[in-house]
């Protein structure tokens, strides 16, 4: 519609120009000065007439302003002093009556962006006697278009940064913190907070709201923004906000929400609250709220709110995806633990029961048995069942790898091996530094090796050593258990394939050495740097 309006305007101007051109041709004076002054000089568009010698013979005030020169310096000048590529413009087929182009010109103050339409002037005898040039200033429109394109580009970069944070972060809080660091500077805010709804509701049936990440909140105000009265107020707003609309507060003196006085007390003048909404199966679920605050008196523009809503939807989708992944992992881990319980502890208890019943049946039948041997076997089976039950209970507990690899291994050896009559040692070089992902991988390799020792090796001593060289970190797990024949062992069993795969992903080397009766050694060498 806008393009049609522009074309219609140009058509009217061109028609007027032809009429005025005929006026010049016939030297009529009946309406000339009145029509020209009333219409041409009052135009917002620039208007210029060039004769067949390409000399400027007329122009209006708008053209002077656009070019930045007074008409006294333009009259009688060749058109190529204004349009330097004028000669190239007319190297076009003669059949083309009009030519539309865009140019940027340097005026006295700044650059102007112009839409220029050039039309041939034809008299009653179909003879060309010059050209009409209409200049339309599109500077404002171009600046708006450029600003929108820049905003789209910035939004694209921001969404990529948030997605990257989701793939590299260790947990939800770290992901949200990384995201708000990106948001706070992009949207000229001084504080950002992310609240998430808890699945557990309050006694009165309302959803609980918890602060999960923040930036720019003064420490002395942390208690205020996490106060139950404030979080319940925002939670109720989210619950009653059926259209999932954003809330922009320009006047902190309003009494719509209890949070206004507290936000104002912190020195913030404006806030924006955007619901975190995830849509799936034609159903929308509110996960929480993204809040931004400004201490400067700068309004939140409508396009900013639109971009913030796009970003909040992205964050909500990533949160939902993480929760689904964590739920799937929890289900998978629970199933694995159930299999382990059945395959290890349950079998040991069944074996213990069968051994006891066999000994009892032999006694009732009058058979001779050696009590010491029977009791020894019963004790071994019971001891192994207790060991594996302790391992099972340990694996049921969450492991906090944020404490560091060495601390977690200490806890594992003390909680499992230390209570299973296995002498365990952990020897680690000082100042070993590794990326977090490599620490996690080494922990799981160590755990798999220790589990194998506990279940199969019947070892009395186990040691874990970590050494570092200039280029590498070396992890070794040794035991004095039964060992095995390297030729007969299934290299894909006992978790060996998993340990080897984890090592390969770190560009490392995996080695296992064992002999029957001489224990087993597992060695993992990985580069220190990523």
Measure the CA–CA gap between 148 and 168, rounded to whole angstroms: 30
Strand partners, 137: 114
Q: pLDDT per residue over 186-205, tens digit each?
A: 888 999 999 998 866 666 66
Return the pLDDT at 479: 95
Measure the CA–CA gap between 432 and 417, rounded to whole angstroms: 24
* The two domains 2-137 and 144-316 share their CATH topology (first three levels equal): yes
Return the pLDDT at 4: 47
Measure the CA–CA gap between 89 and 41, rounded to whole angstroms: 27
Distance (Å) of CA 411 to CA 211, 219, 380, 403, 468: 31, 34, 25, 11, 22
Our CA dihedral for 509, 514, 518, 522, rounded to 10 degrees, sits at 30
**Sequence spans of domains, the chain:** 2-137, 144-316, 399-530
**What's phi and psi for 435, nearest 5 deg?**
-60, 150
For tokens 């060039």, name the residue: 50
Measure the CA–CA gap between 422 and 431, rounded to whole angstroms: 28
Q: pLDDT per residue over 324-375, tens digit each?
A: 777 666 666 667 666 666 666 667 676 777 777 777 777 777 777 777 777 7
Alpha-carbon 459 to chain mean position: 48
* Residues 237-248: b if buried by 16+ CB within 10 A, e if exposed: bbeebeebebbb
In CATH, 399-530 is 3.30.565.10: yes
Token reading at 408:
């977690």
Q: pLDDT per residue over 257-315, tens digit each?
A: 667 777 777 888 888 999 999 887 778 888 999 999 998 888 898 888 999 999 999 99
* Nearby residues of 155 by Cβ (< 8 Å), 6 or more positions away: 307, 310, 311
SS3 132: strand
- pLDDT category at 389 given cuts 50, 70, 90 is low
Measure the CA–CA gap between 450 and 390, rounded to whole angstroms: 13
- The superfamily in CATH containing domain 144-316 is GAF domain (3.30.450.40)
Chain mean pLDDT for the chain? 79
Q: What is the pTM of this model?
A: 0.53
How open is the CA angle 166-172-176, to the nearest 5 degrees? 70
Q: Return the HEC string of 458-472.
A: CCCEEEEEEEECCCE
Alpha-carbon 394 to chain mean position: 34
CATH tag, 2-137:
3.30.450.20
User: What one-character DSSP code corresponds to residue 78?
Assistant: B
Among 194, 214, 156, which residue's Cα sits nearest to residue 273? 194
* Nearby residues of 89 by Cβ (< 8 Å), 6 or more positions away: 83, 99, 101, 118
Strand partners, 464: 426, 477
Token reading at 300:
């939140």
Share of the chain above pLDDT 70, in %: 77
Among 119, 117, 116, which residue's Cα sits nearest to residue 130? 119
SS3 content of the chain, % helix, strand, coil (to 5): 50, 25, 25
Q: pLDDT per residue over 114-161, tens digit each?
A: 788 888 888 888 888 888 888 888 888 888 888 888 888 888 888 888
* Residues 280-290: b if buried by 16+ CB within 10 A, e if exposed: eeeeeebbbbb
């Amino acid at each position: 519609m806008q393009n049609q309006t522009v074309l219609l305007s140009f058509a009217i101007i061109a028609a007027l120009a032809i009429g005025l051109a005929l006026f010049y041709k016939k030297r009529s004076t009946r309406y000339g000065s009145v029509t020209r002054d009333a219409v041409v000089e009052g135009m917002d568009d620039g208007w210029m007439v060039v004769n067949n010698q390409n000399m400027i013979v007329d122009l209006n005030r708008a053209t002077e302003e656009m070019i930045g020169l007074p008409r006294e310096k333009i009259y009688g000048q060749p058109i190529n002093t204004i349009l330097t590529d004028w000669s190239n413009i007319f190297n076009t087929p003669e059949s083309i009556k009009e030519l539309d182009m865009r140019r940027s010109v340097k005026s006295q103050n700044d650059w102007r962006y112009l839409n220029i339409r050039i039309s041939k002037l034809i008299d009653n005898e179909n003879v060309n006697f010059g050209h009409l040039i209409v200049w339309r200033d599109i500077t404002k429109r171009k600046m708006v278009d450029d600003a929108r394109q820049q905003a789209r580009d910035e939004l694209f970069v921001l969404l990529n940064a948030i997605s990257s944070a989701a793939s590299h972060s260790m947990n939800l809080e770290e992901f949200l913190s990384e995201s708000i660091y990106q948001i706070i500077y992009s949207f000229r805010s001084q504080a950002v907070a992310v609240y998430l709804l808890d699945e557990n509701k309050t006694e009165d049936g309302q959803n609980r709201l918890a602060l999960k990440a923040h930036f720019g909140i003064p420490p002395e105000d942390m208690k205020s923004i996490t106060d139950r009265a404030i979080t319940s107020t925002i939670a109720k707003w989210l619950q009653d906000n059926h259209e999932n609309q954003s809330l922009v507060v320009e006047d902190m003196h309003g009494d719509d929400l209890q949070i206004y006085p507290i936000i104002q007390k912190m020195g913030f003048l404006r806030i924006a609250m955007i619901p975190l909404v995830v849509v799936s199966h034609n159903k929308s679920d509110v996960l929480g709220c993204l809040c931004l605050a400004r201490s400067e008196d700068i309004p939140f523009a409508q396009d900013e709110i639109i971009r913030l809503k796009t970003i909040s939807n992205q964050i909500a989708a990533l949160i939902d995806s993480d929760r689904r992944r964590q739920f799937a992992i929890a289900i998978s881990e629970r199933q694995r633990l159930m299999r382990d319980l059945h395959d290890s502890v349950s079998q040991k208890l069944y074996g213990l029961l069968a051994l006891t019943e066999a000994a009892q049946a032999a006694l009732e039948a009058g058979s001779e048995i050696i009590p010491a041997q029977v009791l020894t076997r019963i004790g071994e089976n019971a001891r192994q069942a207790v060991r594996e039950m302790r391992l099972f209970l340990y694996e049921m507990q969450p492991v906090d790898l944020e404490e560091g690899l060495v601390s977690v291994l200490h806890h594992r050896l003390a909680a499992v091996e230390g209570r299973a009559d296995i002498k365990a040692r952990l020897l680690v070089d000082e100042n070993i530094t590794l990326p977090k992902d490599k620490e996690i991988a080494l922990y799981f390799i160590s755990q798999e090796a220790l589990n194998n020792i506990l279940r199969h090796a019947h070892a009395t001593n186990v040691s874990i050593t970590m050494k570092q060289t200039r280029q590498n970190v070396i992890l070794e797990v040794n035991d004095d258990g039964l060992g095995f024949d390297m030729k007969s062992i299934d290299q894909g069993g006992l978790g060996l394939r998993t340990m080897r795969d984890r090592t390969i992903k770190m560009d490392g080397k995996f080695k296992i050495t064992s002999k029957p009766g001489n224990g087993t050694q597992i060695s993992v060498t990985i580069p220190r740097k990523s």
